[in-house]
Amino acid sequence: MNNAYTIVVCGSVVPDPLQTLEPVAGPAGPGLRNEAMLPAVLDPWASHALYEAARLAREHAGSKVWLVSLGPRAKLQQVMMIVAQKVPFELIALDGPAGGFTEAAEVAAVLADAIAAIPGLDRSRLLVFGGWESASRGAGATLQMVGERLGIPDQFQGVDSARVDADGTFEILERVEGGRHQVSRCAGPPMVLGWATGSLAEPKNNPQVGMVNMRAVMPALQKARAVSLAGAGLAFTSVTLPKQVRATRIVKDASPDEVAREIVDWIRKK
């Protein structure tokens, strides 16, 4: 049985969440203050998807991992210098805007076209991975639309685990309401998996993996296709940070039952 897979991970760059992110309205639309100066990282949700893809590829000989990333080329180069040392992959770079103010449908169209153009792509062995959410925009819709454009009806979101059985079927653990998981079984690819946290730690930097990856990453960045997202029909009336609300009341000699009752009453009013 052929258990080799083509695993395509969709993931972009986002501003380092440890930085102060202040939204501003500019002449070209909304953005972040000093956005060009902010250091970038690979989206954390996409990182989980990439590490899970690498694990699956290691377990099934002949599998290959691709990373399709849409973002400013300079930022992509900055981030890939680090990510390339984590796991083996081949990069497909798209030079264009990335962030919380792009339209999910437009991004999905660009990503789907890039995946469809992979040379020798066997859709019967295709697994599309990505983040269930995003650190730049938790729309939760981009990956689903990528799958629809590629004609993949089997989609799983909020995935924490995906195991391949001896007969080639997948057992997938998805998050559902109430802190529970749903166990699903799928006969095999093609599939779309939107990863939550997964179960893998961040791999250590491996300079040898980095050297192998960078031989292909740098040419991929140099020939990155320029992408323009028109944002037709999008309009932002305002962009502001969420307001912090804090109401502190100091009470002495209150019993635990009284404190608990007050907290429950407060929650019920919300």
Q: What is the mean pLDDT of residues 143-164?
A: 90
Contact present, 123 and 192 (Cβ < 8 Å): no
Question: Is residue 238 a part of any domain in this protein?
Answer: no
176's enclosing H/E stretch is strand 170-176
Residue 240 domain-assigned (yes or no): no
pLDDT tens per residue across span 88-103: 999 998 888 777 677 7
Q: How many other C-beta atoms can be found within 10 angstroms of the C-beta atom of residue 215?
A: 10
Residue 172's CATH number = 3.40.50.620
Evaluate whether 67 touches 1 at the Cβ level (below 8 Å): no
β-strand pairing of 191-195 with 126-131: parallel
pLDDT at 158: 87
224-269 pLDDT, tens per residue? 888 777 765 566 666 666 676 777 778 888 888 988 998 898 888 8
Residues 33-88 have pLDDT tens digits of: 667 777 788 888 888 999 999 999 999 999 999 999 988 888 888 888 888 888 89
Q: Say if 91 falls within a structural domain.
A: yes
Q: Count of domains in the chain?
A: 1
Residue 29 tokens, joined: 């639309």
Looking at residue 79, its pLDDT comes to 87
Q: Is residue 57 part of a domain?
A: yes
The yes-or-no verdict on residue 214 having pLDDT over 80 is: yes
Query: For tokens 């981009």, what's the residue?
Result: 142
Answer yes or no: is 33 within a domain. yes
Which pLDDT belongs to residue 50?
92
Say how many Å lie between the first and final Cα of the chain, rounded.
55
Confirm whether 65 is domain-assigned. Answer: yes
Which residue segment(s) compose the domain that 180 sits in? 6-226
Measured in residues, the chain has a length of 270
Residue 205 maps to a domain? yes
Q: For 123, phi and psi rounded to 5 degrees?
A: -65, -20
pTM of the full structure:
0.79
**Residue 137, domain member (yes or no):** yes
